[in-house]
């Protein structure tokens, strides 16, 4: 896998106080780089980066990427956007603006500085897929006017903008399509299935299954995901993506609930609720491109990743923060 020479760079991470962003900031600092973390704290939290604030090469800026940003950096990871249905549907217009205006502003900054930029796209660009597992050349099956469209179509438009900037301005771009990711620092009330199940189990509440619980997802531990993002950024300019990053291990919601009950020691019951509109029935990444181009494969099994994740949420529940 061709890579650039490594030296201390300053990376801009938008959405850097979020779940994935905070882990990315941490890993970049561990690699000896500087990090400028930008977040408006709509869904991110200073608690996620509190342990980094005293690091000599870490800076934090409160900023909304829907407005232009003028800084000097060596590269940009654009992760800014609410990523859970509860959060992105709360203000759908702002969600679309974050994906589209945010992409335009960050691409403009990358063009001015002539630096590489990575877009954190999503498996949601595939919608409710008619192809399984999903390869990067699948164009998707998305409802453009549904309640999830603010996120799905916003991210699809962001990908369009990235490739247009690449073609028109020869800008070095990287596009990662991120599949379901879990781990410590997930927001306890973000409505995602892993955090939902764990918090409900730890509180002894009924675990909410939507539909019949037979819909499937693939769950990637955050450390694996961050390694993939960094490997994609460190490839030479010819590798633009889009590249799927996720764990191809597929689990039904009932299987996930069973794994959570086992790890938490909970006896919570399972309760079925109606399936939300446009909720995908299947989701599994084809990671052949990541394996061949990045030499990347996830290494953390769901059973292993749930251990620190449950530990994180157990602490939040015991402190009354979840």
Is the Cα torsion angle 27, 50, 75, 296 positive or negative in sign?
positive
Which 3 state secondary structure label does DSSP give 21? helix
- pLDDT at position 2, please? 41
Which 3 state secondary structure label does DSSP give 243? strand
- pLDDT at position 225, please? 98
Single pTM value for the model: 0.94
- pLDDT at position 281, please? 80
Domain boundaries, the chain: 10-318
Which 3 state secondary structure label does DSSP give 40? coil
Q: pLDDT averaged over consecutive 10-residue blocks of the chain (322 residues)?
A: 63 98 98 97 95 98 97 98 77 92 98 98 93 94 91 96 98 97 93 93 94 90 98 96 96 96 96 79 92 97 98 96 88
Looking at the DSSP bridge assignments, the partners of residue 217 are 251
Q: 196 to each of 176, 184, 211, 239, how far by Cα in Å? A: 25, 13, 15, 36
Rounded CA gap, 283 and 218, in Å? 6
Write out the catalytic residue numbers. Answer: 151
CATH number for region 10-318: 3.40.50.720
Which 3 state secondary structure label does DSSP give 305? helix
Looking at the DSSP bridge assignments, the partners of residue 287 are none
CB 165 within 8 A of CB 174: no
CB 66 within 8 A of CB 105: yes
Rounded CA gap, 39 and 65, in Å? 8
């Amino acid at each position: 896998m061709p890579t650039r020479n490594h030296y201390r760079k300053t990376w801009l991470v938008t959405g850097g106080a979020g779940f994935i962003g905070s882990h990315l900031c941490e890993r970049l600092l561990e690699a000896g780089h500087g990090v400028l973390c930008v977040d408006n704290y709509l869904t991110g939290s200073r608690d996620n980066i509190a342990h980094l604030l005293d690091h000599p090469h870490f800076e934090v800026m409160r900023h909304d990427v829907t407005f232009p940003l003028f800084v000097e950096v060596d590269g940009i990871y654009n992760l800014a956007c609410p990523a859970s249905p509860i959060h992105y549907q709360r203000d759908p217009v702002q969600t679309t603006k974050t994906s589209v205006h945010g992409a335009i502003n960050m691409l403009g900054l990358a063009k001015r500085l002539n630096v590489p930029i990575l877009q954190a796209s999503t498996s949601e660009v595939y919608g409710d897929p008619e192809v399984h597992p999903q390869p990067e050349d699948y164009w998707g099956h998305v409802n453009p006017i549904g309640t999830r469209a603010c996120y799905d179509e916003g991210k699809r438009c962001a990908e369009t903008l990235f490739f247009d900037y690449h073609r028109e301005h020869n800008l070095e771009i990287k596009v990662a399509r991120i599949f379901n990711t879990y781990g410590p620092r997930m927001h306890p009330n973000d409505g995602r299935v892993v955090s939902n199940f764990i918090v409900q189990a730890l509180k002894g509440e009924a675990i909410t299954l939507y539909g019949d619980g037979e819909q499937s997802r693939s769950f990637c531990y955050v450390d694996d995901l961050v390694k993939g993002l960094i490997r994609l950024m460190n490839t030479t300019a010819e590798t633009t993506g889009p590249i799927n990053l996720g764990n191809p291990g597929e689990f039904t919601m009932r299987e996930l609930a069973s794994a959570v009950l086992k790890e938490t020691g909970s006896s919570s019951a399972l309760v079925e609720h109606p399936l939300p509109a446009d909720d995908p029935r299947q989701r599994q990444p084809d990671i052949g491109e990541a394996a061949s181009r990045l030499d990347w494969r996830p290494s953390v099994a769901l059973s292993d990743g749930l251990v620190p994740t449950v530990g994180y949420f157990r602490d939040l529940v015991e402190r009354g923060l979840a």
